[in-house]
Structure 1
Amino acid sequence: MRIVVIGGSGLIGSRVVGLLTEAGHEAVSRSRSTGVDLLSGRGLPEALAGADVVVDLTKPPAFDDTSPAFFRATMGHLLAAAGSAGVGHAVILSIVGADQVPGLAYYRSKVLQEDLLKAGPVPYSIVRSTQFFEFIDTVLSWTSDEHTVRLPPTLLQPVAGDEVARVVAGVVVGAPLNGTIDLAGPEVFPLDELGRITLDARGDRRAVVTDEDAGLYAAAKGHALVAGRGAVIAATTYRDWLARRPH
């Protein structure tokens, strides 16, 4: 099977390419550095020639009000090129609960991306994941200074990037779902508690201050970002993952 992974050099993409290659598939990573620009469409027809599956793991330059325009353009180019090339399956990675947080432009843009894919000419699969363990440090950095980290008590169910890659790779080689599956980690944490666990594991003595208005995740309420019934639940716990990470 020939699989083109656009955005295949990133955290999840590089692992997906590796897993598919190990399984004996012809998995190739394509991005602007290899002459494929999804935003303009440059290089897409050549990249998708002979492909059985295309996986879109690209991200916009900014997670703000410009992101809907990014996904409208990139999905338009991808679907047109994939349809013309006869690609039989298109896969994207989205966000659990994206449709439950309309106050965030980036989450609205991911819903737009999903809707464009569903309405397009190519059989598809959507994998919705919760936040990656690997991104928690970045989340903490948004609202931190040298003394404190301010975090809302928003409920999150984070998951290891390796397990996201495994699920995506499994979906890629299967029949198109023409639907969505959700993936989450095994535990639910308030984000402020997750911050304390992270800092403690790092030996970081800063205090976590609970602040319901702090940062991007303050816009998510209740169980919006927690996986619902029927989700795939990964095995790796956050504390086990932290224990294996260099500090």
Structure 2
Amino acid sequence: MKCAVIGGTGLIGSQVVENLNAAGHQAVPHSPSSGVDIITGQGLDAAVTGTDVVINLANSPTFDAASIAFFQTSMDNLVAASEKGGVGHFVVLSIVGVDEVPDLDYYRAKVLQENILSAGPIPYSIVRATQFMEFMDRTLAMTTDGDTIRLPRTPIQPIAAAEVARIVAEVAVGSPLNGILNIAGPDVYPLDEIGRLTLSAKGDQRSVITDDSAGMFAAVPGDVLTAPENARITPVRYTDWLS
């Protein structure tokens, strides 16, 4: 099966390409560095024409209101090129609970991405994942002030990027879901506790202060970022991943 992996050089994309090729498929990574620009449309027709599956893993360069325009334009271009090129399955990676966090611009942008895909003409699959274990350092950095990190108690159920890539590749070569698959790691932690676990594992002497108004995750209501019923739970635990 021939797969065009948009954003195929990133954290998830590079592993999806590797997994698909190892399984005997033909996965081709595409990004601006390879001459494919999903905003201007440059190189897009050539990238997707004649492929069985388009896997869109490209992400907005910002998490603010500009992300809305990014996903609108990129999805309009990708869906149009894919329809023209005869693509039979279109896969995107999204976020568990994304439609329940309306106060975050980036989450609204990802909902828009999902809606453009589901309303379009191409059979599709949406894989929604919880927060990546690999992004915890970035999350801590967002609310760091000197030796102090402020984090809310937002429940988080982290998943390893390798598990996300494995399942995205598996979904891509299966029958289109025409719906959503939720995936998550096995354990739920308050975000402030994850922060302390992370610092301890790294021998980092900074301290975490619980602050339910700190950072972007403060806008998340309840436990919407944890696995809903019927989610697929992966085996890798955060504490094992840290060690």
2:41 partner amino acid: G
Structure 1 residue 130, shift from structure 2 partner: 0.4
Q: What SS does structure 1 have at the residue aligned with 2:196?
A: helix
CA contact (8 A) 2:17 2:28 kept: yes
Q: 1:71 & 1:147 partners in 2: Cα distance? A: 36
1:96-135 aligned at under 5 Å gives the runs 96-135=96-135
Structure 2 residue aligned with 1:167: 167
CA contact (8 A) 2:49 2:84 kept: no
Structure 2 residue aligned with 1:39: 39
Structure 2, unpaired ranges of 5+: none
- Are 1:89 and 2:89 counterparts? yes
2:174 partner amino acid: G
2:122 partner amino acid: V
CA contact (8 A) 2:49 2:81 kept: no
CA contact (8 A) 2:186 2:234 kept: yes
Q: C-alpha offsets along residues 10-58 of structure 1, whole Å, 9 cap, x if unaligned? A: 0000000000000011100001111110011111111112100000001
Q: C-alpha offsets along residues 60-80 of structure 1, whole Å, 9 cap, x if unaligned? A: 111100111111100100010
Over the matched positions of the two proteins, sequence identity in percent amounts to: 56
Structure 2 residue aligned with 1:26: 26
The structure 1 segments of at least 4 consecutive aligned residues displaced by more than 4 Å after TM superposition are none
2:51 partner amino acid: A
Q: 1:80 & 1:147 partners in 2: Cα distance? A: 49
The TM-score, its normalising length taken from structure 2, stands at 0.99
Structure 1 residue 146, shift from structure 2 partner: 2.7
Q: 2:147 & 2:41 partners in 1: Cα distance? A: 46
Q: 2:48 & 2:137 partners in 1: Cα distance? A: 36
1:67 partner amino acid: S
1:206-217 aligned at under 5 Å gives the runs 206-217=206-217
Q: How many residues align?
A: 243
Structure 1, unpaired ranges of 5+: none
Q: 2:160 & 2:116 partners in 1: Cα distance? A: 28
1:113 partner amino acid: Q
Structure 1 residue 145, shift from structure 2 partner: 2.6
1:35 partner amino acid: G
The TM-score, its normalising length taken from structure 1, stands at 0.97
